[in-house]
Amino acid sequence: MKKVLKFTGLAFLGLLVIGTFVFLYKKSRPVQKEYQIETVTKGSIEKKTVATGKVEPRNEILIKPQMSGIISEVCKEAGDLVAAGDIIAKIQVVPDMVNLSGAESRVSRAQLAAEQSKTNYERDRKLYESQVISKEEFEKVQLQYKNDLEELQAANDNLSLIKTGMTKNTQKSSNTLVRATVSGTILDIPVKVGNSVIQTNNFNDGTTIASIANLSDMLFVGKIDETEVGKLSTGMQMEITIGAIQDTKIPATLEYVSPKATEESGAILFEMKAKMEIPSDMFIRAGYSANADIVLDQKTDVLMLPETCIEFSNDSAFVYVVKNEKPQEFERQQVSLGLSDGINIEVIDGLKLEDKVRGNEIVEKKK
């Protein structure tokens, strides 16, 4: 029994040694690699870049009040179309008590002066008609009477302005009526009835009553990296893709590239603006996020290959031309390259149309 176990152990050990040698032999043998075969073709290559940004109206006008007070009525809503001169809101004036008291006192004094001038005028008119006094003396009294009536009117207008912000003669053009200064679409009305507002003056920009813009004249406003800004020039064509309208590309023309950069998260970026050619049947809202596809360079009807076929060594580029497909045999060939779009690359010299070259290695998936 012991001899059987001994021979069995020796046989197992021998099989193990032989298996190890076989495994190491197989591992040491070179693996035959297979590659995809790519063909030199003709086509167009475009080098593009993408700029991110948003859609903004060319001119957004902020409407400010010309008088301080409290909003008593809001006549429009965000999204409404308005014409220049349309009333957006009405302001109720809150009078200053000191000014109000002074205005009321002025009216009282003017009233007294006007009544006294009227009495003098009536008396002197009768004396003049009776030829008791000269015409010159009567005209002096008449002029004083008219001046006192004018002063009374001015005092009443001043009191009305302090109380209500308008007079009888200026009700239609009163500063208490906030009007649109341009035609367009109301983007926002940040105030509500009851809000206090401050007029525009030399020391304060004033409270914004509304913002208005022409939504048919929109700009793409984005930023582009410093490595690509030198390739941009005004008048370049681009396509705008809006995040909310994925299936539509809107043509645009570059109008402006900032001469000064800004730094964001360590990247140097330049602002750019492009005029969008919006179709008449499309409504674009201000503030949409968007991307701009910009063609930096383009070549048509050129020889090209997938860029993965190229092997770079120092300052030279090489490909492996197919000499035999089965078994695969290749010959290293130097080539001159041109424009690349990141996928395909232009071949200037070294290959001909329909030449076949080595591509990526074919890797079998493990089961």
Q: Give the pLDDT of residue 184.
A: 92
Assigned CATH for 35-44+300-361: 2.40.420.20
Nearest to 284 by CA among 238, 255, 241: 241
Task: Check pLDDT > 50 for residue 367.
Answer: no
DSSP label of 227: H
Identity of residue 305: L
Residue 125: partners with Cβ closer than 8 Å, 6 or more residues away: 138, 142
Q: With the C-alpha atoms ordered 41, 47, 52, 56, is the resulting torsion angle positive or negative?
A: negative
What tokens does 303 get?
A: 């020889």
CATH T-level assignment (fold) for domain 61-93+171-213: OB fold (Dihydrolipoamide Acetyltransferase, E2P) (2.40.50)
Residues 218, 278 contacting (CB under 8 angstroms): yes
Residue extents of the structural domains in the chain: 35-44+300-361, 49-57+216-298, 61-93+171-213, 97-164
pLDDT of res. 220 = 95
pLDDT digits (tens, 9 = 90+) for 223-252: 998 988 888 889 999 999 998 887 889 999
Write out pLDDT tens, residues 205-228.
Answer: 889 999 999 998 999 999 998 988
- CATH number of the domain located at residue range(s) 49-57+216-298 in this protein: 2.40.30.170
Percent of the chain with pLDDT over 90: 25
- Token look-up 């700009």 returns 219
CATH architecture of structural domain 97-164: Orthogonal Bundle (1.10)
Which residues does 339 contact at the CB level (< 8 Å), separation at least 6? 45, 47, 297, 299, 302, 345, 346
Pick the range with the lowest mean pLDDT from 27-41, 49-63, 64-78, 347-361: 27-41
Task: Map residue 97 onto helix, strand or coil.
Answer: helix
pLDDT of 137 > 90? The answer is no
Q: What distance in Å separates the CA atoms of residue 239 and residue 293, rounded to the nearest whole number?
A: 5
Question: 271-309 pLDDT, tens per residue?
Answer: 999 999 988 888 889 999 999 998 888 888 899 999 888
| Residue 30 in this model has a pLDDT that exceeds 50 | yes
Report CA-CA distances (Å) from 3 to 11, 100, 120, 259. 12, 130, 159, 95
